[in-house]
Amino acid sequence: MTKTSAVELVVVPCRTDNYAFLVHNHDTGETALIDAPEAAPIAAALAARGWRLNDILITHHHDDHIDGVAALREGARVIGAKADAHRLPDLDLAVEDGDSVTVCGQATHVLGVSGHTVGHIAYHMPDAALVFTADSLMALGCGRLFEGTPAQMWDSMQKLRALPDDTLVCSGHEYTETNARFAASLDPDNPDLISRIKRIETARAAGTPTVPSTLTEEKRTNPFLRADVPEFKAVLGMEDASAVDVFAYTRAQKDKF
């Protein structure tokens, strides 16, 4: 549970390694869900707090992000990408990059972050300093490029990297330990990464989620946000390569890791 100045955030573990997120505004009584990997743990988290869903926000069409929507949607507004509407649960509101909607009393900005899939979106609540990135920007990683190109995903990474440094990055999976090992294989002398790995190991040993993370720590340690950083390019021996080429190389290495 994380309390921002405006809302309460609850991280709900689902399936084997997914996360869903509940956002609750205690002043208005409204509650929103971001992604629905499965219904039971989300319903239990709501019941334990006496909350009722007003909105369900979907980031992309993969089953492990939408399987619980049908069981949870009664009375809730379902929001998702217009470009992906043909492969999402029925939408009450279809949105696209640049749109803004009000969720739990919060201005919520829609960011197009294609790459993992074409049509993937993220939701940014600037006043609450929250961004819900699912399988685009992840803790120490990014999603595999099932549909998009490296150029598309690098564009998405830059869009997310440009958010305020104190933004909490709410990503969709507990992949952080594996991502950390990969990051260390590329950048073993990065002091920020070394320190973060120790915190990750401590958290996982205690069974504590490593999500959300802060954008500040992602910018310092996540290799997929650093494709244009001279120090990182030098570590890879790619000083003269374009950022897209560095990103593509890094993603290809992760796919083989």
How confident is the model over 131-159, as pLDDT tens digits?
Answer: 999 999 999 999 999 999 999 999 999 99
Question: Quick one: what percent of the chain has pLDDT higher than 90?
Answer: 98
Residues in CB range of 55: below 8 A, 6 or more apart: 30, 31, 32, 33, 76, 77, 78, 79, 103, 104
The mean pLDDT of the chain is 96
Q: Give the pLDDT confidence score for residue 5 in this predicted structure.
A: 61
How many domains does the structure of the chain reveal?
A: 1
> Helix, strand, or coil here: 78?
strand
For the stretch 49-75, pLDDT in tens is: 999 999 999 999 999 999 999 999 999
Cβ atoms of residues 173 and 18 within 8 Å = yes
Q: Give the pLDDT confidence score for residue 223 in this predicted structure.
A: 98
CATH number at residue 198: 3.60.15.10
The C-alpha atoms of residue 212 and residue 49 are separated, in whole angstroms, by: 21
> Which residues face 56 on adjacent strands?
33, 78
pLDDT at 4 > cutoff 70:
no
Joined together, the tokens standing for residue 120 give 């993937």
Q: Give the pLDDT confidence score for residue 2 in this predicted structure.
A: 58
pLDDT at 83 > cutoff 90:
yes
- The average pLDDT across 233-242 equals 97
The C-alpha atoms of residue 165 and residue 37 are separated, in whole angstroms, by: 28
pLDDT at 255 > cutoff 90:
yes
Q: Give the pLDDT confidence score for residue 238 in this predicted structure.
A: 98
Instruction: Tabulate helix, strand, coil % of the chain (nearest 5).
Output: 40, 25, 40
For the stretch 169-180, pLDDT in tens is: 999 999 999 999
Handedness of CA 97, 102, 104, 106 (dihedral sign): positive
Domain that holds residue 199: 2-256
For the stretch 85-108, pLDDT in tens is: 999 999 999 999 999 999 999 999
Residue 47 exposed, middle or buried by CB count within 10 Å (0-12, 13-18, 19+): exposed
- The average pLDDT across 210-226 equals 98
Q: Give the pLDDT confidence score for residue 6 in this predicted structure.
A: 78
Amino acid at 206: A
Question: Quick one: what percent of the chain has pLDDT higher than 70?
Answer: 98
Q: How confident is the model at residue 118 (pLDDT cuts 50, 70, 90)?
A: very high
